[in-house]
A and B are shown apart, each in its own frame.
Chain A
Amino acid sequence: MDLYYPVNTFGPAMKGMVLGGLGIFHVFLAMFAIGGGMLMCYFQWLAQTGRNPYARRFVDDYFKLLVLISFVVGAVTGVAMWFVSIQVSPRTIGMMVGEFHWVWGIEWTFFSLEITAGYCFYRYSKVLTDTARFRLLLIYAVASWFSLFWINGILSWQLTPGNWPETRWMWDGFFNPSFFPSLLFRTVTAMTVGSLVACVVINAVPWLDRPAKESLIHRAAHLLAPMALMPFLGAWFLFTMPPDSRAMALGGNITMTMFMGASIGASALIGLYALVGMLRQQLYINGATASLLCMLAFVATGGGEFVREGVRKPYSIRKTLYSNSVTQADVARLRKIGCVTNDPYPMRNPEQYPNEQLLLGAKVYRFHCSVCHTVNGANGLSELCSSWSTEQKRLNIAQLQRTKAFMPPFAGNNLELEALVQYVSWENANRPADWKETDDPAVLEQIQRWLDEVGVESGIVLEEHLTQGSTH
């Protein structure tokens, strides 16, 4: 697999922030499309069985919004996810596409069906019979849910590949341990989002009076009822996670824990409001409240997605590809030959580095660290290491997976490691014009000893060794 690609950075923003921001936005829109489809099926059924006289016209209005938002921004951000993934980690997306291209292909057939059914309804719904309307909406809803079904298999595989690393059989990876809890959890989330957006739209429709709005909101709230299952589904999902990932979410990594807490809190608030206000009809949901609930749903979705992405570390594909796009076998090889020795892409503006060692260090940073860190911006390396002595930097980077178990092992030789240490120190010192190169053989030997001692396995595996009583 190709190792070297041109590397771009997003200034002070981490690449993961860009990918995550877009991803959360796209996921929310996708949830809207899926939940919206289910809601419209339900409303069409209400209309044709005479249970609600306003439901039919509302379906037409809601569908216009769905087409204008989901079919446009949702579809294009889906493509954008691919493009941004290439910018962040071409190797990771390359492996995902390579291993699951037929699944992506299947998902594409369902997406095409979704678009076809959607546009048929959009163009002709007003002149169609109830039967035709319902069937089109049903096909639309089922197709959009199956899009989720297929993509969910690939995304959950990244965290819990199951038996796939041993068998390399695609279906082993697809139907992985977290597949079903994740699928069901996302389905409930989609229903919630579809319902809450409907509440916003109902309030925005000018031709409905208050009692009509109340009746529709009450019906839309029925799709919130499955939220009661969320705690169980969430617990099931946590249970299927690898123990180290679960530990990160449950306090081991306070950022993950806080995001998970925010997600659970936001979901709980929505659930509470749904129970009291909408299902038991104790409160009226006006446009502002409905919008606020939608925002809470966005926070909950964002928090959940952040945790799902974060607890995969130090891997982007568990036990296969580290988060900086190298495999364990690569680490072993690059420890010998150097991680940037064969990197054909030079540093831009090389004249800004006072010596060759710093230039090398910058190149090592670009190859090894820049996927998750910036130099001086978000998650900035300079800031993270600012209080470390030079000796500490050498040890901590040499045994990176022991420094933090969610970090991948250092994948370079001792000269590159020393160059990286000097580069970080130079950045800490505000990039002075003069900087002395270091070449003490004793230091390099010490670094090599540390590298040899820690090996090329991840910190998680080392922890497992310790737990089982063996020494590495």
Chain B
Amino acid sequence: MDTVFPFGFPGPTAFYLTLLVAVFMIHVLFMNYVLAGSAYLAAHTVLFGSADDGTPLSRILRDWLPFMLSAAITAGIAPLLFLQIVYRENFYTANLLLFYRWMAILPVLIAGFYLLYILKSKRIGHWPFVARAAVGVGAFAGFMFVAWSWVENHLLSVHPDVWVEQYASGVLVYRPFELFPRLALWVVGSFPTMALMLAWQVWWESRLDTGMPTAEQTRGAHRTAMIALIAIVLTSICAGAYSLLMPPAARDVVFSMLTLPYVILSVIGVTLELIAWVPQLRAGRLKLVWLSVATVGLMLHFCGMTVINESTRLAAIDISTRYAEHAASAKIGGRWAFGFFLLLNLGLMAYCIRLTSMRRPPEETIETPEKP
């Protein structure tokens, strides 16, 4: 633990750890949007129903959340894959110990998906208040359950000392003192990401319209900046509190040479985010330059936090017992094919997005009859 992550590990272990962290960052990006976005929509649905709150935020969230959830699940498959390579025994054992509780996240995700589609539909505007609120809050509650289960699973996976007792008791809930502080950190930490992604979406809409933001977009800009700033401050407080509450071994690792550069990176990222959001809050206007600075800040913060997260896991698990397995996995063929298809398919994804600009002229008639 006296060399900067991931250089102190043998090549194969460092390789898989780096991949795990990299793909996990992509997953967290979408996951944060879904978690914080559904929280915002739940509050909005309770307060306003489907009515307008004077900003474009709830409309954009309703429109994009189903896709973002799909993206979060799809992006979540890759870290799940490398998690099984790097920490197989720990991950599988935690899954098995939580059993039904753990498996419940899948139907809950399906229900959450459909609730988001209902929120997106126009029909919900005619529903009574209680039904609307139930849909909005239900979706958020589902994602909170998933978040809670993942945090619980993670904590159980890094505490092999409790496995036997947990199994013998037959209890399907694991509630160490770290659970709620850690969950709070993840939940609060999801808001700055959502705020930034929403801000980009508002900025893009204003660019597509007239180039000048409407009053609604200005209010939206103001609110995203407000959410981001409050959430960044709260996240920093939660992170500080959690670092005091976490096991001493984990805390020592966070401030060891393994992770310290990433702590600094994270602090730099947060500072950049703060610097970028304050002028946007004051002006009530989203500017490309400040959004770009906030994005760079968020990326640095993300990179720092995901490595810190990984290092707390490494503090609890003796990864050296897995070196031989990682070395064996690294010898298995297919990595160049993976690299090739990754690049090819990334290119095709970009091409798909480009294809969406091939619009039909508005005057062109469609020969499909409406009512034959």
Chain B residues with CB below 8 A from A139, complex form: 348, 351-352
What separation, in Å, do the CA atoms of A127 and B357 have in the docked complex?
A: 9
Which B residues fall within an 8 A CB radius of A? Answer: 67, 70-71, 73-78, 80-82, 84-85, 88-89, 92-93, 95-97, 99, 102-103, 106, 109-110, 113-114, 117, 163-164, 167-168, 170, 325, 328-329, 332-335, 337-338, 341-342, 344-346, 348-349, 351-353, 355-356, 358-360, 366-372
Given A72-B114, A97-B81, A98-B329, is A209 in contact with B334 using a C-beta cutoff of 8 Å? no
* Contacting pair A6 B332 (CB below 8 A): no
Known: A54-B369, A57-B368. A90 touches B92 (CB 8 A): yes
Show the binding face of A for B, using Cβ within 8 Å: 2, 5-8, 47, 50, 53-57, 68, 71-73, 75-77, 79-80, 82-84, 86-87, 90, 93-94, 97-106, 108-113, 115-117, 119-120, 123-124, 127-129, 131-132, 135-136, 139, 143, 169-171, 207-209, 211-212, 344-346, 348
Given contacts A77-B106, A93-B84, 13 further A-B contacts (CB under 8 A): A7-B96, A53-B368, A97-B81, A97-B88, A98-B88, A101-B334, A106-B342, A108-B74, A112-B345, A127-B359, A170-B332, A344-B164, A346-B167
Contact B70 A97 (CB under 8 A): no
| Complex-state Cα separation, A325 to B78, whole angstroms | 25
> Quick check: B353 and A116 within 8 Å, CB to CB?
yes
Shortest beta-carbon distance from B16 to chain A in Å: 9
Residue of A nearest to B76 (CB): A79
Pick the contact of A128 from B81, B341, B355 — CB < 8 Å? B355
Nearest-Cβ distance from residue A150 to partner chain B, whole angstroms = 9
Q: Do the beta carbons of B333 and A170 come within 8 Å of each other?
A: yes
When distances are taken between beta carbons in the complex, the residues of chain B under 8 Å from A211 are: 372
Q: Are B332 and A86 in contact (CB under 8 A)?
A: no
Q: What residue in chain A is nearest B75 (Cβ atoms)? A: A112
Contact A6–B74 (Cβ < 8 Å): no
Q: Are A105 and B345 in contact (CB under 8 A)?
A: no
Known contacts A8-B96, A72-B113, A209 near B345 by CB under 8 Å: no
What DSSP secondary structure best describes chain A's contact surface?
Answer: helix
CB within 8 Å for A76 and B85 given contacts A120-B356, A169-B333: no
Report the bound CA distance from A112 to B341 in whole Å: 11
- Complex Cα spacing A8 to B170, Å: 10
From B75, B96, B368, name the one whose CB has the most chain A CB atoms within 10 angstroms: B368
Are A346 and B338 in contact, CB atoms less than 8 angstroms apart?
no
Taken together as a complex, chains A and B put the C-alpha atoms of A136 and B345 apart, in Å, by 13
Residues of B near A76 (CB, < 8 A) are 73, 106, 109-110, 113
Q: Which of A105, A119, A208 lies at the interface centre, i.e. has the most chain B CB atoms within 10 A of its CB?
A: A105
Report whether A80 and B345 are in contact in the complex, using a CB–CB cutoff of 8 Å: no
A113 touching B334, Cβ below 8 Å: no
Q: A83 to B92, alpha carbons, bound, how many Å?
A: 9
**Is A5's CB under 8 angstroms from B345's CB?**
no
Tell me whether B332 and A47 are in contact (CB under 8 A).
Answer: no
**Alpha-carbon distance A82/B67, docked complex (angstroms):** 22
A68→B113 CA distance, assembly (Å): 9
Q: CB distance B348 to A212 under 8 Å?
A: no
Among B163, B335, B345, B366, the residue within 8 A (CB) of A109 is B345
Chain B residue numbers with a CB within 8 Å of A123 are: 67, 356
**Is there an interface contact between B369 and A87, defined as CB atoms closer than 8 Å?**
no
A129 with B358: CB separation less than 8 A: yes
Q: Is the interface of B mostly helix, strand, loop or mixed?
A: helix
Given contacts A6-B163, A72-B110, A79-B80, contact A209 B372 (CB under 8 A): yes
- Tell which of B78, B346, B370, B371 touches A108, judged by Cβ atoms closer than 8 Å: B78
Sample 12 A-B pairs with CB under 8 A, ordered by A number. Answer: A53-B368, A84-B103, A87-B96, A87-B103, A105-B81, A105-B342, A108-B81, A112-B75, A113-B352, A136-B355, A170-B334, A345-B164
A53, A97, A116: the one within 8 Å of B352 (CB): A116
B95 contacts A86, C-beta separation under 8 Å: yes
CA distance A75 to B66 in the complex (A): 13
| CB-CB under 8 A for A129 and B359, given A83-B103, A102-B332, A170-B334 | yes
Q: Are A106 and B338 in contact (CB under 8 A)?
A: yes
Q: Which residues of B contact A348 (CB under 8 A)?
A: 167-168, 170
Distance from A129 Cβ to chain B, minimum over Cβ atoms (Å) = 5
Bound Cα distance from A288 to B186, whole angstroms: 49
Q: Is the CB of B332 within 8 A of A94?
A: no
Task: Please determine whether A75 and B96 come into contact, CB atoms closer than 8 angstroms.
Answer: no
Q: Quick one: given A100-B334, A119-B67, are A5 and B92 in contact (CB under 8 Å)?
A: yes
Closest 7 CB pairs of A and B: A102-B334, A132-B358, A170-B333, A109-B345, A90-B92, A57-B368, A6-B96
A345 & B167 in contact (Cβ 8 Å cutoff): yes
Complex contact A346–B164 (CB within 8 A): yes
Minimum CB–CB distance from B139 to chain A (whole Å) comes to: 13
| In contact, A5 and B96 (Cβ under 8 angstroms) | yes
Q: Smallest Cβ distance from A271 to chain B, in angstroms?
A: 31
* Among B106, B114, B164, B329, residue most surrounded by chain A Cβ atoms (within 10 Å): B106
Report yes or no: B352 in contact with A102, Cβ–Cβ below 8 A. no
Q: In whole angstroms, what is the CA distance A8 to B342 when docked?
A: 37
Q: How far is the CA of A102 from the CA of B338 in the complex (A)?
A: 6
**Residues in A neighbouring B106, C-beta threshold 8 A:** 76-77, 79-80, 83
Contacts of A105 in B (CB 8 A): 78, 81, 334, 338, 342
**Residues on A with beta carbons closer than 8 Å to the beta carbon of B371:** 207
Complex Cα–Cα for A5 and B110 (A): 28
* A56 surroundings in chain B (CB, below 8 A): 366-368
- Which residues of the partner chain B approach A171 to less than 8 Å between Cβ atoms? 333-334
Compute how far the CA of A305 lies from the CA of B280 in the bound complex, rounded to whole angstroms.
Answer: 57
Query: How far is B353's CA from A99's CA once the two chains are assembled, in angstroms?
Result: 34
Contact status A115-B74, CB under 8 Å: yes
